[in-house]
Amino acid sequence: MTGLASTTILLVRRGDETCMASDGQVTFNDTVIKAGASKVKRTGKGEVLVGFAGGAADGLALFSRFEAKLDEYQGNLERAVVELAKDWRTDRVLRQLQAHMIVASREKSFLVSGNGDLLQPDEEGVLAIGSGANYALAAARALIAHTEMSASEIVRHAMQIAAEICVYTNDRLTIEEL
């Protein structure tokens, strides 16, 4: 699942472990502005992970909207992401936001985009967005298929591979686990 440029977010589920990571690089055109940004956040009393790619301000605005939806629907993750996707697609101001999000709890995960897309991963439980998404996704799928690594080990290795290939992705990772 590719997304907007300038970051990489990867979600891996394996067994009862859910792990999400982001790289730390923030760029402006072709200049690295920051190397240690956190693009994965916890919400929903620490039980939901959210990662965003795209414009930083847009991602943070969507994160705030998502938190409000999660509160409005008493922690019902699926209902909150469906309502956010509907608002994002139909609201004039939200439609202008340039970002993608991955949202995950222990049981479910979703990719949400401004086109109104709301996708769940296949059985292997891997989602990725951002400029390095295809590299991280391919590496994670290969590691799931050919190793017994945990979700957090897969995330670390796959993100390292993405950082070695994608110029908009670095190896200063933020990793959160459920």
- CA dist 136 and 124 (Å) reads 14
Contact between 160 and 178 under an 8 Å Cβ cutoff? The reply is: no
Contact between 96 and 115 under an 8 Å Cβ cutoff? The reply is: no
* β-strand partners of 101: 52, 112
Active site (annotated) includes residue 43: no
Active-site annotation holder among 2, 7, 18, 27: 7
- CA dist 96 and 36 (Å) reads 27
- Is 87 buried (19+), middle (13-18) or exposed (0-12) by CB count in 10 A? middle
DSSP-based three-state secondary structure for 24: coil
Q: Give the neighbor-by-neighbor strand order of the sheet with 109-113.
A: 40-43, 48-54, 99-104, 109-113, 118-119
- CA dist 143 and 149 (Å) reads 7
Q: Tell me the catalytic residues.
A: 7
